[in-house]
Chain A
Amino acid sequence: MKILDNDDLRKIHALSLQIRMPVSGQASGNRKSKSKGSSVEFSDFREYAPGDDFRRIDWNAYGRFNKLFVKLYMEEREAPVQVFPDMSMSMDYGSPNKFAAALRLAAAISYVSLLSYDSVYINPWNEKVQGIYGPFRTQSSYMKVDNLLSGLMASGKSNFSDALRSMEWKAGRGISVVITDGLLRDGLEEGLKYLKYKNQDVFLCMLLSPEELSPPLNGAIELVDSETGETVEVTVSNALLKKYEESLKQHMAKLQEQCRKWGIHFAMLSSDMPVDLMLKSVIT
Chain B
Amino acid sequence: MSFATPYGFIGLLAVPLIILLYILKQKREKVTVSSLILWSKVISDMQASTPWQKLQKNLLLFLQIITAILIVLALAGFSLQLRSDAGRSVIVVIDHSLSMSSTDIKPSRLSAAKKDAVKFVDDLPTNSHVTVVSIGKEANVLIYSSTSKDEVKKSIESIQKSSGYVDVAKAEELVLSLKNQEPDTQIVLFSDTPYRFGNEQVQFSDYKKQSNNVAVTGFTHTITGDNITAMSVIRNQGSSEAEIAVSLYGDENFLDSKWVTIPANQAKTVWWDKIPNNIKTMRVSIETEDILPDDNSAYDVILSEEAVKVLLVTDGNIFLEKALTLIEGVELVRTSPGEQIYKGYDLYIFDGLVPDKLPEDGNVAVFSPPPNNLFPVGGWMDTPEVGSSAHAIFKYLDKLTFSIGKTRILEKPEWAEILMEYNGNPIIMEGIVGNIRVLIFGFDLFDTDLPLRTEFPILISNIVNEYAPQRGTVIQRLYTGDVAQFKLNPDTLKAYVHTPDGRRVSVAPPIPAEPFIDTDEPGIYSLEQVNAEGSLNTLFDVNIPDEWLMEQSSGGSTGIDAEYKTSIPFKNQAVSLMLPLLALAVAILLFEWWYYANRNYA
Contacts and interface: CB of A to CB of B under 8 A. Distances in A.
A239 B599 contact: yes
B34 A94 contact: yes
B82 interface: no
A233 B600 CA distance: 15
A14 B165 CA distance: 120
Contacts of A226: 32-35
Nearest to B47: A233
A48 B121 CA distance: 123
A97 to B, nearest CB: 11
B599 A237 contact: yes
A223 B31 contact: yes
Interface in A231-254: 231-234, 237-240, 243-244, 247-248, 251
Interface residues of A, number: 37
Nearest to B42: A243
Given A231-B47, A233-B47, A237-B599, A225 B38 contact: no
A226 B42 CA distance: 18
A224 B29 CA distance: 10
Interface string A151-167: 00000000000000000
Contact of B34 (A183, A230, A243): A183
Interface stretch (A119-127, A190-198, A213-221, A273-281): A213-221
Contacts of B33: 93, 212, 215, 223-226
B30 A221 contact: yes
Given A90-B35, A226-B33, A240 B26 contact: no
Interface residues of B, number: 28
Given A93-B34, A183-B34, A224-B31, A232 B39 contact: yes
A209 interface: yes
A183 B38 contact: yes
| A interface secondary structure, majority | mixed
Contacts of A231: 30, 47
B475 interface: no
A91 to B, nearest CB: 7
Nearest to A216: B31
B36 interface: yes
B131 to A, nearest CB: 62
A221 B31 contact: yes
Which residue among B33, B43, B601 has the maximum number of chain A CB atoms within 10 Å of its CB? B33
A215 B46 CA distance: 20
A7 B363 CA distance: 150
B28 interface: yes
Interface string A165-207: 0000000000000000101110000000000000000000000
A243 B602 contact: yes
Contacts of B38: 183, 244, 247-248, 251
A98 interface: yes
A181 B34 contact: yes
A248 to B, nearest CB: 6
Given A212-B34, A232-B46, A247-B41, A237 B596 contact: yes
A276 B600 CA distance: 40
B598 A234 contact: no
A234 B37 CA distance: 14
B28 A183 contact: no
Contacts of A91: 34
A227 B35 contact: yes
Contacts of B39: 223, 232, 234, 244
Contacts of A243: 42, 600-602
Contacts of A220: 26, 28-29
A237 B598 contact: yes
A41 interface: no
A223 B36 contact: yes
B596 A234 contact: no
Among B26, B42, B46, max chain A CB count under 10 A is at B42
Interface of B: 25-26, 28-43, 45-47, 596-602
21 contacts: A183-B34, A184-B37, A209-B34, A220-B26, A220-B28, A220-B29, A222-B31, A223-B32, A223-B36, A224-B30, A225-B35, A225-B36, A232-B39, A234-B45, A239-B598, A239-B599, A240-B42, A243-B42, A243-B601, A243-B602, A247-B41
Q: Which 8 A-B pairs have the closest CB atoms?
A: A183-B35, A93-B34, A90-B34, A222-B28, A225-B36, A224-B32, A243-B42, A90-B35
Given A91-B34, A234-B39, 12 more contacts: A220-B29, A221-B31, A222-B30, A223-B33, A223-B39, A225-B36, A227-B34, A233-B28, A233-B47, A239-B600, A240-B43, A243-B602
